[in-house]
Structure 1
Amino acid sequence: IALLGNPSVAYLDEPSSGMDPGAKRNLWSAVSQACNSGTSIVLTSHSMEECEALCTRLAIMVNGEFKCLGSAQHLKNQFSKGYLLTIYNKSKSKGNPTSTSVNSDVVQTRINYFIHNNFQGAYLKEKYQGLLTYYVPQTRDLKWSSMFDRVESAKSLLGFEDYSISQATLEQVFLSFTKPYDEQTQNDYN
């Protein structure tokens, strides 16, 4: 209703809250269309996915106080504290099905050794069905290109199938701002 009549400014407070995915996408299309036709949209949301899909500038507010302002990419660059390195370890041993887990464990041990020797402060964050997700802290001398170069050169040596390197998500940036507040609130209740 807020978008009827081509307003010059529309204020939307959590517009897709409680919507199913199909309705949410339709709403996002309508908001994008309104934006493209010249309407300025001010949107509040807890959904970082929604913010990333619709917003050109974001402000993160915690406890009534603005913490940052900028584009989604600017906030990721400025406030993310590291990278996620996911390695697809689908090692299989032909013939004997029981040796698959042994071979996979050997490959994982080699991968762990490689990660710890090449990326200072990295640690295994999650392990699930052959997917190994490592958190790699951002340092001054660590560049995307050198990360890709190191992992690509180790791929065939270590025997893993594939990998991906990604920047922290907008959700993780948001949570990094709210975490100190959540911890303080928890302490207030104790």
Structure 2
Amino acid sequence: MAEEEFAELGSDRSLLLVDDDNAFLTRLARAMEKRGFQTEIAETVSAGKAIVQNRAPAYAVIDLRLEDGNGLEVVEALRERRPEARIVVLTGYGAIATAVAAVKMGATDYLSKPADANDITNALLAKGEALPPPPENPMSADRVRWEHIQRVYELCDRNVSETARRLNMHRRTLQRILAKRSPR
């Protein structure tokens, strides 16, 4: 590929990938290298923070839940060392509350897994405050309801009775909802 194709990346093409799923991490690293990034990978929070302390990258893709902690620790460390870094938080546990927390900690964007390399690249290279295009497959009404219930449940420290009271719902109804898997 020609250098002009990578001009959008800027002069510093360093990209930190932090995920505890080794197969996904390897595939993503290869795909991002094909797009012109110079990747470094880490499978733990401590390894990610060590890379950030050694040489803070211009870009980062960080999984939220890792074996040894929360990926937001890496986001925070990178934000301290390199405030202008573009950071995308990835997670298989998509919830509105975690997305808000990630953005407050300094993430540029938040994507739910499975996200492909094109989605990640677009999120990393998005400029300014422009709104992203609407999703091709928006959340269903059931999913939005589930997210809201989960958020209130977490705000109530996972107390079912308090959550039911705040949602104006019978406790047993809430327990049945919480026992089910999240809708797609």
Work out whether the TM-score is over 0.5: no
Structure with bigger RCO (C-alpha 8 Å, 6+ apart): 1
State the TM-score, normalized to the length of structure 2: 0.28
Name whichever structure is richer in strand by fraction.
1
State the TM-score, normalized to the length of structure 1: 0.27
